[in-house]
Every structure is written in structure tokens, then in C-alpha cells.
Amino acid sequence: MAKTKRKAAKKKVIKKKATKKTAKKKVAKKKPVKKVKAKAKKKAPAKKTTVKKPSKKAAIPTLDLEQYEPQVKEEAGLIDITQGSTQFAWIGAGQCGGRLVKSFYDLGYRKVLAVNTSHHDLDLLEIPKNQKFLMDIGEMGAGKDMARGKDAAQKYQQEILHTIRKLFASGVKHIMVCFGAGGGTGSGGVLELIETAKKYARHNGIANPDKSVGAIMTLPTIGEASSPLVAKNAYKIANDLGKLAEAGKLSPLIIIDNERINKLYPGLTVKSFWPTINSTVSGLFDIFNKLSAQSSRYTSFDTVDYQSIIETGGCAIMGITKVKQITDTYSISRAVKNNLEKTLLAGGFDLSTAKVAGCIVVGGKKLMANVSGLQDRINYAFDVLSEITGKATIHRGVYEDDRDSLRVYTIIGGLNLPEKRLAELKG
């Protein structure tokens, strides 16, 4: 009896916590069921005493402690519906940033917040309303003026911090700030937002926020960068963030090269252009988080391996290639090279500056059991990556699944800025 009573009380606390205002409304709406009214009234005082912890001291030792638990759960804020090794939270600034975090949201990463100076952009974004934050500066956007973006993020810094504390709550291990270099809101506001994310991290007990806050930045296409203001903005913020990352104060910096994608996916429709790019970016990112959550009967690329890469500072790149001719001696090592050259991420990195890397080979069960010499080829591919990356520590992974193909995944961290690519922006 006492148990069921407690359970009922717990449920009520959860409901009440979820949305205080709506909970009140719901209680009010339930009133028409008159027969239950008397009972509900009886229970109500008990609920009040447990939530507010008032004077009823005698009830505290058991009841309050038990009911404290569900409240903690509730304070975990938004709950992801995806299971990776690392709990991420996402802040998207400007239109690009907002759309990038939406693509993570669509994958099940629910701890996202989009901030913008334009409510039009926010209105178009299909994520819950309470996960959009308007930095109202009285204009529709920052009009590619980085100073406006910076002022906006400074002005609303406290409110944004408050919002992410409430939304993200606890349990977050890594925060990524996403934006497009070239515009005003994202490029101007990103440094401030990184600081805000670090404050949140510190408050949340993350020991070293410098290692736990990273950024995803897109570079403008050549067409866009033919506008001197866009090119100047992009060059400036890419350098600022690059320096921060190289100094280990931002980890990792992931650079998406929209120009490369433009070339990799020719003929996309206007409608599918950004969504295709964004879902490819989020999908690629997600794979490493998921892989590192799984164990392998061969060689596991585990959580610690993954986190050592994303926490090492500098820039990070990722790539996937499906190996076409498995019987070819060099096919897997070629796939590794391909990952480094033909990714949608920016090129021009000096791979010898890498600090830590991961290389994971995933093959179908049948291939793993039947293809002779496959182990040698896999080992050779690991060696090739080791050579290319100089002194980088390589974390290996060999997994099997139910598909009938072989894929190679690489992630490399601690890289210096791709100076050559950035120089192109300078013109």
C-alpha cells in the first residue's frame, strides 16, 4: 500500500516538474471528475510537502529522499534518443549553425540550442520552440556584420547560459558550437558562445572545459567568398578559432568545406543542397561516437580512444570509404588515404602535425571469416596511417557486422590549421 502511494506521489512529482505551468493547468482540467475530487484533495497536501520540503519534519527521512531521485532525473533536461559513447550538447549560431544542430537533433541528439539574431531563420527551423533563442537586436539578422553578431552574443550571454543550463542540465561530456564562417551572427558570436559553453561546462563539473568544448565551422564556397566581406569574415574567424584550437583551448575544431561538397555532390537541387551537406556532416560525426560505444571481439576502438582524439585540441578530420576490391593487397590502405583526401571536410592539412588518430575497419561476418590475407591488409593500412601521421598515436579498431562489405573509418585529431585552404579565402 505504502509503495503504491509513493509510486503515485513520484509520478506526480515528475509531472509537476516537467512543466510547472502546464501541470497546474492539467490539474485544473481534471477537476470536472467530481467523484475523484475528494481523493485528489487528500493527496494534494502530501505532494506539496514533498516538493517544497516545508515544516513536516517527521516525513523527511524517508519520503523526501525517495522523491528526490525522480527530480534529479527530471533535471537531466532533454534526453537523447541516441546512444553514443559520449554525451554531446550542441549550440548552433546563425542560420548555418541552426541547421547543423537540427541535423544532429534529427539523429537523436536532443540537447541542442539554436541562437540567432533573426527570428525568421529560427521560425524556419524545425526543432522545439524552447530550443530556439532569439538574440533580439532589433534587426533581422546581423547582415554579415561580425561586430553585430558579437554584440548580440555578449548582450544575451547570461540568458543563453541560463537557457542551456536548463535545457542541457547534467550528464553532458562535450559541447560543440556550430556556425558558418562568413556571416555576421555565427562568425561574430561564436567566440562568446564558446566561452558561454565553457562556463556551462565548468558549472557542470567538467574538469577541463578547454578540452570539452569544440566547434564545427563551415567554410564558404568559392562563389560566396567572391564577396570580399564574406571572405574577410571567414578568414578572420577561421584564424581566431584555429589559434584557439592549436593552443588547446578549443577541442576539436572541425572544418567543413562547403566548396568541396559542392564538387563532391554535383547537381544537387536547391532544396536538397544544405540538408544533404548537413546530414552528411552529422552522420559522419555520429558514426565515431557510435562505434566507440561498441565493443568488438577483434579489436575495440573504445570510449577512451575516441575521447582522447576529440580532447586533444587542434583540428580534427574524419572520413569513411567503402573498400571495393577486398582481394587487392593495397585496397584497404588506399581507402585510408582516400579518407584523408576526399572528405567533405576541409583539405590542405599537414597530416604530420596530427597528435592522435583512430582507424577502424568494419567488415561483414562472412568476409572476416573467409577472406584469407585480410588481417595482413588491415595491418598494412594501420601502418600506412601511422606513417602518414608521423608521431601520432593510432587507436585501432576491427569490427564485424551483418553487411557484406568492408568499410574503413578514420578520425584524426590535433592537426594544425589548413593554412593553404585559408589562404585561398584571403584571395
Ligand X SMILES: Nc1nc2c(ncn2[C@@H]2O[C@H](COP(=O)(O)OP(=O)(O)OP(=O)(O)O)[C@@H](O)[C@H]2O)c(=O)[nH]1
The smaller minimum CB distance to ligand X, of residues 60 and 134, is found at 134
Say which entry of ligand X, Mg ion, none residue 144 contacts (CB below 5 to 8 A, set by partner kind): ligand X
Among 84, 92, 98, 141, indicate the residue that binds Mg ion (CB under 5 A): 141
Contact (CB, 8 A) for 331 and 305: no
Furthest C-alpha separation in the chain:
79
CB-based burial of residue 132 (10 Å sphere; 0-12 exposed, 13-18 middle, 19+ buried)?
A: buried
| Nearest distance, CB of residue 140 and ligand X, angstroms | 8
Q: Is 224 in the site for ligand X (CB under 6 A)?
A: yes
Q: Which among 55, 147, 149, 51 is positioned nearest to 94, based on CA atoms?
A: 149
Q: Is 168 in the site for ligand X (CB under 6 A)?
A: no
Q: Which among 154, 139, 130, 142 is positioned nearest to 180, based on CA atoms?
A: 142
The smaller minimum CB distance to ligand X, of residues 206 and 217, is found at 217
Contact (CB, 8 A) for 354 and 252: no
Among 50, 95, 131, 343, indicate the residue that binds Mg ion (CB under 5 A): 95
Say which entry of ligand X, Mg ion, none residue 255 contacts (CB below 5 to 8 A, set by partner kind): none
Say which entry of ligand X, Mg ion, none residue 258 contacts (CB below 5 to 8 A, set by partner kind): ligand X
Q: Is 92 in the site for ligand X (CB under 6 A)?
A: no
Q: Is 345 in the site for ligand X (CB under 6 A)?
A: no
The footprint of Mg ion on this chain (CB under 5 A) covers a number of residues equal to 3
| Nearest distance, CB of residue 226 and ligand X, angstroms | 11
The smaller minimum CB distance to ligand X, of residues 204 and 233, is found at 233
The footprint of ligand X on this chain (CB under 6 A) covers a number of residues equal to 25
Strand order in the sheet with 315-323: 132-134, 112-116, 88-93, 174-180, 213-219, 253-257, 315-323, 406-415, 356-364, 393-401
Among 9, 50, 88, 94, indicate the residue that binds ligand X (CB under 6 A): 94
Please say whether the dihedral angle defined by the alpha carbons of residues 147, 153, 156 and 157, taken in this order, is positive or negative.
negative
The smaller minimum CB distance to Mg ion, of residues 97 and 418, is found at 97
Contact (CB, 8 A) for 193 and 116: no
Among 50, 87, 163, 185, indicate the residue that binds ligand X (CB under 6 A): 185
Q: How many CB atoms lie within 10 A of CB 245?
A: 28
φ, ψ of residue 213 in degrees (nearest 5): -125, 125
- Positions touching ligand X (CB under 6 A) are 94-96, 99, 117, 141-144, 179-180, 182-186, 218, 220, 224, 230, 256, 258, 274, 277-278
